[in-house]
């Protein structure tokens, strides 16, 4: 069950990043079929390999398994930008987000 979530999530996040399995494999310093083997359920990465995959995808490991977050990379980028705002700016954005949810 958890393995299926892992395979599906890896494929979805890699696709969102717009990179091929081959290019991702090579960028991670692995053989060109490394990611393909993982996505086709033929292998699982080591723990170190998993952390490298998360780093490559710019997704914290805890967010990798949170399938309620469809676009964790964009969410993390947004959070990084929000940290730079002052209290008034955050209040304004919060009001906008609440307004968007009601429409």
Q: What is the pLDDT of residues 23-80, one digit of tens each?
A: 999 999 999 999 999 999 999 999 999 999 999 999 999 889 887 888 888 888 899 9
- Look at residue 24 in the predicted model and tell me its pLDDT: 98
Q: Do 72 and 59 touch, CB atoms closer than 8 A? A: yes
pLDDT at res. 1: 65
What is residue 73's predicted lDDT score, i.e. its pLDDT?
Answer: 85
What's the CA gap between 52 and 63, in Å, rounded? 14
Other Cβ atoms less than 10 A from the Cβ of 14: the count is 20
Cα separations (Å) of 3 from 10, 40, 43, 47, 54? 11, 11, 10, 14, 16
């Amino acid at each position: 069950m958890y393995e299926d979530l892992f395979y599906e999530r890896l494929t979805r996040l890699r696709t969102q990043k717009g990179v091929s399995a081959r290019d991702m494999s090579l960028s991670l310093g692995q053989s060109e079929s490394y990611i393909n083997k993982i996505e086709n359920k033929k292998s699982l990465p080591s723990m170190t390999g998993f952390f490298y995959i998360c780093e490559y995808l710019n997704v914290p490991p805890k967010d990798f398994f949170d399938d309620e977050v469809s676009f964790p990379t964009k969410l993390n980028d947004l959070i990084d930008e929000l940290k730079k705002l002052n209290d008034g700016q955050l209040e304004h954005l919060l009001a906008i987000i609440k307004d968007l949810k009601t429409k």
